C-alpha cells in the first residue's frame, strides 16, 4: 500500500476530518511565503510592512517603496488561482467527511474553491474591519483588487489619503482596514479552532512549517484528543513525532492522488 492509499484509508475510516493549512498551500497558487528564503520578509522588513504603524512610517519616508510593495501584492493576488489541494478539501467537505478548514492563510482561496466552514486564524484580506465599531464586511475580491490597482498605478497622485480610500467606508461612517492579523495583534477564531482540533478524529496538515504559534499547536491538540494525523509537506515533516502518514510532496500534487485512492476505496 503506497502513502496515498494509506492516507485515503485513514480518511475513509474517519468520521470527522479537519484540515490545518499553512503558507505552503498558497505558495503553490503563486503567493510567496512570508518566512521561507526568498519570501516576503526577505525582501521587506516585517517591522515596517507587518504593522500599521510601520506602513504609515514607510508612507511618510519612502512612499514609492510602499507603492511598489502594494502593487506587487495586488499583482500576486490577482494571478493566484486555487490548486488541487484547495479543490480536494472542498470535495471532502461536499462528501460530508471534512467539517472544518483551519487556515493561517489570508487569501480566501479555500472559500473560492467552495469550502464553507473556514476558520481563518490570521484573518482575510478580502474582508474589511471598521476601526471605529469593529464591524466586518466581505469584499468583492475582483472589485477590491481592481480598485486598488487604479489607485496604485496613478503614481502622480499617490498619497496616504488615496491609500485610505482603497478601503470602503463602514456603514457607521468610520474608516475600515483589511481584516488581517498584523504583527503584535491577537489571532482570530482560536477558540473555535481548538474546538475543531479537539473534535476531529483525523487532521490533514497541509503546507505548514509548524513554526507560527499559537496556531502551530493545533495538530498537537488533535493528537492529544486521539486524532490521527496526515501531513503533506515537500520540505519537512514538521510534526514527525505525531504523524501517522507523511507525504513528502506539495499538497496540490499529493491531494488529488489521495482523492483518487479514496474514490477507489469508497467504490468497494
Q: How far apart are CA 186 and CA 30, in angstroms?
A: 27
Task: Give the Cα separation of 235 and 10 in Å (integer).
Answer: 23
Nearest to 203 by CA among 97, 80, 45, 123: 97
Look up residue 155 and give its three cell numbers: 503614481
- Are 206 and 85 within 8 A, CB to CB? yes
The answer for residues whose C-beta is within 8 angstroms of residue 170's C-beta and 6 or more apart is 128, 130, 132, 133, 135, 137, 176
DSSP 8-state secondary structure symbol assigned to residue 97:
-
Alpha-carbon span 4 to 204, nearest angstrom = 13
| 122 counts as catalytic | yes
Q: Say if CB 124 and CB 108 are below 8 A apart.
A: yes
- The rounded distance, in Å, linking the Cα atoms of 182 and 47 is 10
Please pick, among 86, 110, 122, 268, the residue that the annotation labels catalytic. 122
Residue with cell 487569501: 107
Q: Phi and psi at residue 104, in whole multiples of 5°? A: -95, 0
Q: Among all residues, which ones are annotated catalytic?
A: 122
Amino acid at each position: 500500500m503506497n502513502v496515498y492509499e494509506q492516507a485515503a484509508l485513514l480518511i475513509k475510516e474517519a468520521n470527522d476530518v479537519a484540515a490545518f493549512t499553512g503558507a505552503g498551500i498558497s505558495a503553490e497558487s503563486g503567493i510567496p511565503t512570508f518566512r521561507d528564503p526568498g519570501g516576503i520578509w526577505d525582501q521587506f522588513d516585517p517591522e515596517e510592512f507587518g504593522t500599521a504603524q510601520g506602513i504609515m512610517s514607510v508612507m511618510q519616508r519612502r512612499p514609492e517603496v510602499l507603492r511598489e510593495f502594494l502593487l506587487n501584492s495586488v499583482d500576486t493576488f490577482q494571478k493566484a488561482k486555487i490548486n488541487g489541494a484547495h479543490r480536494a478539501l472542498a470535495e471532502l467537505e461536499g462528501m460530508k467527511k471534512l467539517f472544518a478548514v483551519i487556515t493561517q492563510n489570508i487569501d480566501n482561496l479555500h472559500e473560492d474553491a467552495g469550502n464553507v466552514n473556514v476558520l481563518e486564524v490570521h484573518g482575510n484580506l478580502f474582508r474589511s474591519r471598521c476601526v471605529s465599531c469593529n464591524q466586518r464586511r466581505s469584499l468583492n475580491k475582483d472589485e477590491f483588487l481592481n480598485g486598488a490597482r487604479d489607485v496604485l498605478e496613478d503614481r502622480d497622485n499617490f498619497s496616504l489619503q488615496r491609500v485610505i480610500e482603497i478601503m470602503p467606508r463602514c456603514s457607521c461612517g468610520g474608516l475600515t482596514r483589511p481584516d488581517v492579523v498584523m504583527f503584535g495583534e491577537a489571532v482570530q477564531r482560536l477558540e473555535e479552532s481548538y474546538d475543531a482540533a479537539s473534535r476531529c478524529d483525523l487532521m490533514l496538515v497541509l503546507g505548514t512549517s509548524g513554526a507560527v504559534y499559537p496556531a502551530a499547536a493545533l495538530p498537537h491538540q488533535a493528537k492529544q484528543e486521539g486524532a490521527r494525523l496526515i501531513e503533506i509537506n515537500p520540505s519537512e515533516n514538521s510534526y514527525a513525532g505525531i504523524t501517522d502518514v507523511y507525504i513528502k510532496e506539495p499538497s496540490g500534487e499529493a491531494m488529488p492522488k489521495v482523492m483518487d485512492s479514496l474514490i477507489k476505496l469508497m467504490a468497494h
